């Protein structure tokens, strides 16, 4: 009986976890390779894992699932250019919260910040929400990373 309950509970958690899925595209539009330097792992899981390196002009696709799908889904990634130890980097964050009163999922604005670099070497970071379902919390987002080097 206990084993059946655990199996049923696991299936229920898996079923609710699918509801809070975020499809992520990371697009490197620069002429330089980028690498993943950090990702949020306490609230979210990724399938497949984000690529550790994205070559110039390439994209990476993956899904993010929340460990707490009835509360929030967080996509938090940081990428840096690989050609220099002082190269600029981009910090991307997208959060989906569930409204306790209405049960609807609410997307928060994407935060895309450039960090580091210098006056002559800056990262250009942007993010867009390509699709969102208020009832299920499923979202599709695109993060773009480029570079201005003078």
Thinking of the domain 2-149, which architecture would CATH place it in? Sandwich (2.60)
Could you tell me the pTM of the whole model? 0.83
The pairing of beta strand 44-47 with beta strand 59-66: antiparallel
Domain spans of the chain? 2-149
Question: Distance between CA 74 and CA 94 in Å, rounded?
Answer: 6
C-alpha closest to that of 115 among 38, 5, 2, 15: 38
What's CA 86's distance to the chain center, in Å? 24
pLDDT in tens, 41-96: 999 999 999 999 999 999 999 999 999 888 889 999 999 999 887 899 999 999 99
Residue 130 near residue 140 (C-beta atoms within 8 A): yes
Here the tokens at position 76 are 């938090």
Q: Could you tell me what percent of the chain has a pLDDT over 90?
A: 70
Q: H or E segment at 107?
A: strand 105-107
DSSP state of 117: -
């Amino acid at each position: 009986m206990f084993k059946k309950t655990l199996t049923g509970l696991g299936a229920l958690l898996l079923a609710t976890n699918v509801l809070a899925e975020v499809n992520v595209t990371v697009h490197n539009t620069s002429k330089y390779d980028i690498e993943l330097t950090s990702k949020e792992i306490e609230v979210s899981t990724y399938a497949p894992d984000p690529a550790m390196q994205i070559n110039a002009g390439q994209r990476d696709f993956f899904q993010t699932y929340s460990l707490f799908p009835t509360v929030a889904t967080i996509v938090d990634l940081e990428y840096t250019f690989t050609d220099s130890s002082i190269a600029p980097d981009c910090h991307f964050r997208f959060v989906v919260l569930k409204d306790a009163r209405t049960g609807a999922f609410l997307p928060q604005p994407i935060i895309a910040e450039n960090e580091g670099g210098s006056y002559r070497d800056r990262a250009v970071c942007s993010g867009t929400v390509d699709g969102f379902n208020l009832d299920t919390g499923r979202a599709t987002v695109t993060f773009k990373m480029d570079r201005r080097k003078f």
